[in-house]
Every structure is written in structure tokens, then in C-alpha cells.
């Protein structure tokens, strides 16, 4: 919404159309754990999802790509998604980073503070299994070791187009289920 107003003011229609976004995303590799997804969501996420991004020790590249999702080029608000400030307002936790030991407890608390039905997306290679940090004493080798994960978006970091396409894929998968 904000994005819509903004690029009307700026006078540049630079937002990528959805098909071009998908073409750029190279959506291969986005993994859905369809089992728990089907049980959890139902019709909840049809037209509106609210995402809480949690940095669990990433190098900060994934965060910048998430921030880029709200710029006038990607403008994900037009697809009915937005980032929110509190886990209490969220449908999806988008977790980045290998989960550093010091963040494990904070991530668990954030998960517990998110009302159900909720989804957890692990975003970025290190969120899957620790990536390059795998085996280090200070990380826990992936989000799945701390909270249950429903989907994974690969890349180091995944491009904004890929993150947007990944979230849309998950939203679609959940809205098909009646």
C-alpha cells in the first residue's frame, strides 16, 4: 500500500510484475514440508500474510534482501504480505542464520509468542543446516534443530525475488487446501 502510493508520487512505475518476479526467482529448490503445512493452515493465509523476520545469527545479507522486498521494485505489500514488528502479529516466522547458541533461546521464545496457526520458513543456506558455519561450537546447525520448520528457501543469500516467490508458493499451497 505504502509502496503503491510512493511510486505514484515518485512517478516511476518500476515494480516488477509477478511473472517477471517468478522468472527472476528461479524458484527451484524451495522445499515445502507439505505434511504439517496441510494440517496447520487451512484458509488462514488466503489473501493476507504477516511475516516476522528473525535474525538468528545470520551474516546480515539475508536481512538486507528482506528489507529490499519492501522497496519500490519488489513492493511485496501489493501481494498481501508485509513484515510486522511483533511475533504476536505474525502468521509466518522467516528465520535467517544458522541459529547461534546465544540466539537459540530467543528464537524459541519468539516461536512461542507467535499465535497459531503459524509457519516457520528457514531462509538461506545456513538456516537449513548451518551452511558454512556448520560444525562451529557457537552455532546449532540450522533452524530445524531449535523450532519446527515448514519450508526452506535456498541461496546465500536468496535474492529478494526468490524470497518473495518462496513465500507466495507457500501461501498458495496453503490456500489450495480446503
Partner 1 sequence: MARNEIYREVAPEEFRQECSKLFDGGRGRLRLMFASDNRETGEGFCIHAVFSHPGKNLFEILALKNLEEKKGVIVFPSITSVVPAAHWYERQIADMFGLLPEGHPDPAPLVLHGLYPPGVYPLRRDISHKEIRESLDLDKEDLSPFMEVKGEGICEIPVGPVHAGIIEPGHFRFSAVGETVYYLDARLFFTHKGIEKQFEGMDFDEGVKLAERISGVSSFAHSAAYCHAVERAADTSIPGRAGAIRTFLLELERLYNHLGDIGNMCAGTGFAIGYAKGASLKEGLMRLNEQLTGSRYLRGVNIPGGVLVDVLKNPAETLRMVDGITAQFKSFIAFLTGASSHMERLENAGVLARDIALSLGATGIAARASGLDDDIRRAHPHLYYGQLIFETHTRRKGDVFARMMLRADEAACSLAILKSILHKAKGKRLEGDIAAQPVKKIPESGQALGYVEGPRGSIFYYVRGGGDKNKKPLRVKPRAASFCNWPLMPFAVHGNIVPDFPLINKSFNLSYSGSDA
* Sites of contact with partner 1 (CB under 8 A): 2-3, 6-7, 9-10, 12, 14, 53-68, 70-73, 83, 85-87, 97-98, 100-106, 109-110, 126, 131-133, 135-140, 156-157, 159
For the residues of 46-114, what is the DSSP string, one character each? SS-EEEEEEESS--SHHHHHHHHTTSTTT-GGGGTEEE-S-GGG-SEEEEESS-BHHHHHHHHHHHHHS
Looking at beta carbons only, is 32 or 127 nearer to partner 1?
A: 127
Q: Which is nearer to partner 1, 30 or 54 (CB)?
A: 54
Q: How far is the CB of 50 from partner 1 (least distance, A)?
A: 13
| For partner 1, the closer CB: 113 or 177 | 113
Would you call 66 exposed, middle or buried from its count of C-beta atoms within 10 A (0-12, 13-18, 19+)?
buried
Q: Please, what is the minimum distance in Å from the beta carbon of residue 34 to partner 1?
A: 28
Phi and psi for 51 in degrees, rounded to 5?
-115, 135
119 or 126: CB nearest partner 1: 126
Cβ-contact 121, 93 below 8 angstroms:
yes
Helix (H) or strand (E) holding 18: helix 18-25
Nearer to partner 1, 40 or 134 (CB): 134
The Cα–Cα gap between 51 and 123 comes to: 12
Amino acid at each position: 500500500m505504502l509502496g503503491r502510493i510512493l511510486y505514484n508520487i515518485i512517478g516511476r512505475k518500476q515494480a516488477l510484475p509477478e511473472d517477471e518476479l517468478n522468472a527472476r526467482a528461479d524458484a527451484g529448490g524451495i522445499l515445502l514440508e507439505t505434511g504439517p503445512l496441510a494440517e496447520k493452515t487451512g484458509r488462514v493465509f488466503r489473501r493476507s500474510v504477516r511475516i516476522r523476520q528473525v535474525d538468528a545469527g545470520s551474516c546480515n545479507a539475508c536481512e538486507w534482501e528482506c528489507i529490499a522486498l519492501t522497496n519500490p521494485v519488489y513492493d511485496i505489500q501489493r501481494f498481501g504480505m508485509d513484515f510486522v514488528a511483533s511475533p504476536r502479529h505474525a502468521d509466518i516466522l522467516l528465520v535467517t542464520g544458522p541459529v547461534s547458541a546465544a540466539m537459540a533461546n530467543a528464537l524459541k521464545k519468539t516461536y512461542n509468542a507467535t499465535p497459531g496457526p503459524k509457519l516457520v520458513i528457514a531462509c538461506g543456506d545456513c538456516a537449513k543446516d548451518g551452511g558454512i558455519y556448520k560444525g562451529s561450537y557457537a552455532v546449532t546447525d540450522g533452524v530445524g534443530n531449535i523450532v519446527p520448520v515448514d519450508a526452506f528457501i535456498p541461496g546465500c543469500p536468496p535474492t529478494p525475488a526468490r524470497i518473495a516467490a518462496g513465500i507466495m508458493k507457500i501461501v498458495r499451497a496453503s490456500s489450495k487446501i480446503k
